[in-house]
């Protein structure tokens, strides 16, 4: 049995759903099917994200993607309201604070020049100002801090659900089946084949399968440098809570991060994820096991050095999730796949996909509908950059 659509999206997470919504909202009239293997999004990256948004990047494309997305998130509640129901996404714009030593601060200040030139509200702080802001922090080893005033956190699962609801309302069909293979005739896309053996045909196929996108692309013999990279998040109760809501704090010296989540603290480390085996070979797994001993042995001691508040705490819970990790230059891959008509990719965001999804979905929708970008030029994110050696060397990827 075969079915025909004008456009098929493999994967139904935030990237796919932002794309599907934007296509429809901006006037695409063709039929769209989204295939999602995990109906409850149990293992999808989007609901497992921190939901952090920030402007603190070192390359213009990333800053612009986040700037536009933050603007869209600021208006989300009104713009995405449905049937009189506000699209509540709990955007806590409590800021993003970076703590740094001399070398780290020099790099952050250099990036801040570009961020300022693009209109971002980023402040430089002395160690004394950091201390005044959060008095419980130890600041002796700091050269200073950088504060992204408009950064913050959003509930990622709610955003995803709103995009899905709108896309469905606008006529996008969600089919909860696993795509086994992407089909081509060698020159152009022809559709997808499901695990059941059923085929769905379309001249346009978008790979938005997140951490699974690299493997899925291989089924058509087309390489995308994206693999799953496990990240862990811990939720702790402090014996004596901080006196104030703690913004997202990234301690670049100790490579840890933490922030308030209601009365609790969410925390982790940028360390602890490894993509290469002892022989230096790429080695990855779809692993969702939460390693509590990593928190106890590697994260907790560093937190306690940054604040005595962390000395007495209880690890309540946590989770592991996957970055859709672009192992070459750690940034999104957006656009048409060269040499195969109708194949598009929207993946590889490597830990900053949630905050870029509104703008990335809008951008790819323009490229598919119009053959060019209108709102933001996302050409630098094309997959062709790898062959041309025009890598996006972002210094602020964690
Ligand atoms: C612990 C953690 C913290 C993070 N924190 C942040 C943060 O603070 N800020 C930020 O911007 N980003 C963050 N991220 C990254 C962010 O979550 C991702 O970049 C983003 O969610 C990617 O969206 P996606 O739609 O590509 O992936 P997903 O949400 O994983 O969606 C892809 C979907 O494709 C489906 N799929 C895969 N293969 C198939 C197939 N063969 N057939 C059918 N369906 C398929 C999957 O089930 C999945 O639902 C974090 C990620 C993790 C893991």
> Would you state the pLDDT for residue 271?
82
Distance from C-alpha of 223 to C-alpha of 11, rounded to nearest angstrom: 17
* 332 in contact with ligand 1, CB cutoff 6 A: no
**pLDDT value for 23:** 98
Point out the ligand 1 atom lying closest to the alpha carbon of residue 211.
Answer: 30
> Of the candidates 14, 348, 5, which has an alpha carbon nearest to the alpha carbon of residue 156?
14
Q: Mutual orientation of helices 357-370 and 14-25 as an angle, nearest 10°? A: 50
Cα dihedral 241/245/246/247 (nearest 10): 160
Comparing C-alpha atoms, which of 166, 217, 192 is closest to residue 358?
166
Check: CB of residue 221 under 8 Å from CB of residue 207.
Answer: no
Domains along the chain?
A: 2-75+155-225+328-388 (3.50.50.60), 96-151+229-325 (3.30.9.10)
CA distance linking residue 139 with residue 141, whole number of Å = 6
Q: Tell me the pTM.
A: 0.97
Query: What gap in Å lies between CA 348 and CA 228, rounded to an integer?
Result: 10
Give the phi and the psi of residue 37 in degrees, each rounded to 5.
-85, -20
Name the β-bridge partners of 300.
none
Q: Ligand 1 centroid to 208 CA: how many Å?
A: 9
Which pairing describes strands 173-175 and 32-35: parallel, antiparallel, or unpaired?
A: parallel
φ/ψ of 24, rounded to 5, equals: -65, -45
Residue ranges of E strands in the chain: 2-4, 7-10, 32-35, 52-53, 96-100, 122-125, 144-148, 152-153, 173-175, 179-184, 189-194, 199-201, 204-207, 226-238, 248-251, 256-261, 264-269, 313-326, 333-336, 343-347
H/E element holding 385? helix 384-388
CB of 334 sitting under 6 A from ligand 1: no
For residue 1, the model assigns a pLDDT of 58
CA of 223 to the centre of ligand 1 (A): 19
Q: What is the pLDDT of residue 2?
A: 65
Question: Cα(305) to centroid of ligand 1, in Å?
Answer: 32
Cβ of residue 152 lying under 6 Å from some atom of ligand 1: no
**pLDDT value for 328:** 95
Q: Using CA positions, which residue lies closest to atom 7 of ligand 1?
A: 52
Q: What span, in angstroms and rounded, lies between the C-alpha atoms of 316 and 308?
A: 19
C-alpha Rg value of the chain to the nearest Å: 21
CA of 361 to the centre of ligand 1 (A): 14
- 102-133 in b/e form (b: 16+ CB < 10 A) is eebbeebeebbeebeeeebebeebebeebbeb
List the chain pLDDT tens, one digit each, 398 residues: 569 999 999 999 999 999 999 999 999 999 999 999 999 999 999 999 999 999 999 999 999 999 999 999 999 999 999 999 999 999 999 999 999 999 999 999 999 999 999 999 999 999 999 999 999 999 999 999 999 999 999 999 999 999 999 999 999 999 999 999 999 999 999 999 999 999 999 999 999 999 999 999 999 999 999 999 999 999 999 999 999 999 999 999 999 999 999 889 999 998 877 787 777 788 888 999 999 999 999 999 999 999 999 999 999 999 999 999 999 999 999 999 999 999 999 999 999 999 999 999 999 999 999 999 999 999 999 999 999 999 999 998 87
Distance 128 CA to ligand 1 centre (A): 38
């Amino acid at each position: 049995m075969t079915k025909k659509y004008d456009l098929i999206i493999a994967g139904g997470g935030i990237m796919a759903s932002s794309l599907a919504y934007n296509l429809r909202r901006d006037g695409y009239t063709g039929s769209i099917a989204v295939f999602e293997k995990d109906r409850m999004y149990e293992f999808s990256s989007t609901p497992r994200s921190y939901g952090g948004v920030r402007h603190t990047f070192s390359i213009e494309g990333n800053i612009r993607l986040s700037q536009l997305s933050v603007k869209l998130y600021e208006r989300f509640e009104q713009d995405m309201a449905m049937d009189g129901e506000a699209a509540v996404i709990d955007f806590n714009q409590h800021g993003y604070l970076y703590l740094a030593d001399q070398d780290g601060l020099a790099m952050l200040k250099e990036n801040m020049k570009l961020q300022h030139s693009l209109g971002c509200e980023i402040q430089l702080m002395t160690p004394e100002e950091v201390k005044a802001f959060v008095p419980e922090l130890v600041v002796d080893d700091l050269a200073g801090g950088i504060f992204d005033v408009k950064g913050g956190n959003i509930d990622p699962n709610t955003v995803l659900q709103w995009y899905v609801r709108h896309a469905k309302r606008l006529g996008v069909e969600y089919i909860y089946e696993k795509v086994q293979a992407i089909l081509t005739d060698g020159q152009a896309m022809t559709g997808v084949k499901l695990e059941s053996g059923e085929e769905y045909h379309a001249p346009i196929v978008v790979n938005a399968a997140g951490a699974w996108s690299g493997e899925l692309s291989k089924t058509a013999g087309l390489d995308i440098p994206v693999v799953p990279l496990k990240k862990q998040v811990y939720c702790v109760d402090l014996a004596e809570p901080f006196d104030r809501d703690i913004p997202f704090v990234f301690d670049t010296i100790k490579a840890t991060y933490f922030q308030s989540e209601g009365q609790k603290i969410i925390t982790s480390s940028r360390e602890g994820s490894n993509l290469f085996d002892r022989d230096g070979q790429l080695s990855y797994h779809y692993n969702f096991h939460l390693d509590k001993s990593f928190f106890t042995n590697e994260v907790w001691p560093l937190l306690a050095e940054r604040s005595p508040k962390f000395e007495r705490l209880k690890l309540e819970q946590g989770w592991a999730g996957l970055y859709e990790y672009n192992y070459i230059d750690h940034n999104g891959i957006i656009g048409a796949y060269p040499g195969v008509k109708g194949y598009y990719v929207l993946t590889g965001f490597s830990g900053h996909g949630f905050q870029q999804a509104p703008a990335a979905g809008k951008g790819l929708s323009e490229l598919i509908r119009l053959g060019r970008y209108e709102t933001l030029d996302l050409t630098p994110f094309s997959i062709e950059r790898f062959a041309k050696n025009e890598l996006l060397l972002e210094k602020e990827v964690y």
